[in-house]
Structure 1
């Protein structure tokens, strides 16, 4: 796996669409081949939610994007729970159908939104990793979408003015720069693989992973816990 070196601070409007499309082509066939009981498995990264709950949350969020429904309080914990409850009577496959549609159509809308929705595409990809992990599938937070996810992470952290970090990735040809490099704080340094870096920025468990992080605490990297 390789990733471009100097993507920091540069928005690629089509990047979220590419990420969602690549993940759709892997995740949807996986889900259609799973037994019904697998949708009831707990998702460790999302306490209290099952695989079905995470998928319903993701499909609802993408449908809101496609339909431009952004009422007050959207994407809040209460709003997310309502979205899941509204799909309570749906079959698992209907949830997957909505997810597939959202992952197909939302990228175009996100591209035109000027960057404000880019982090949503990244969050959807992370949740796909949560689901793969809950299902016991290998390569959670990795796979063909990882290069796109890392590029998008570099842009999102820069746009958010996140702490600067220089990542030397084991599975990439060039280093990745994340966060606001023009700030007074010297860049933190990460050495390890790309999937573990994503886990750190998403606030997911890195137990058992081999990596080095200097100049910052792991908790400071979490962009979804702010």
Structure 2
């Protein structure tokens, strides 16, 4: 069922024949399904933990960041449905719509995987609570795994700029030329890729900060 594909390719550029290995699309889809589902569950877990201690927050900035986190978690449900639709159609048809997959993954990145770590970083830097440190750490690790898998998915979708020279459809010189042909599509790709790596960096910062623990929560008395 999950067989890899070996494609015989006649390379017109250098006159050589070659075998090209491609990972099975179903395996990629199943792993993507697990990654995005765990990512969403981690967001829900962090929301529940933050909500439990929200009344004791002493920083207005952290309070606003926490509410922003709740909002974008709600938004992430919508983009999760879109990504799930793409994955389910891929599993059903054994074929991936590249345009749909790129749009879905880009929306997930822009509306979930970038704003949530930023808001979490703002909140935790203002309120480094011991009671939420473990949950933030666990959620950040899951988010990091999802983001790293996103790099694999973007590479497969040929939507990762630094990996464009590996495109088997063209030779190296043509791929390099395409890399530096800054069309609107390529500029959007660069922006998405930059946001992706920025999100990874922020998540790593969150992991480091939350691994240090935090200060105890003192119940605020009005």
TM range (shorter): 0.3 to 0.5
Q: Please state which structure has a larger fraction of its residues in helix.
A: 2
Larger Cα-atom Rg: 2
When normalised by structure 1's length, the TM-score is 0.39
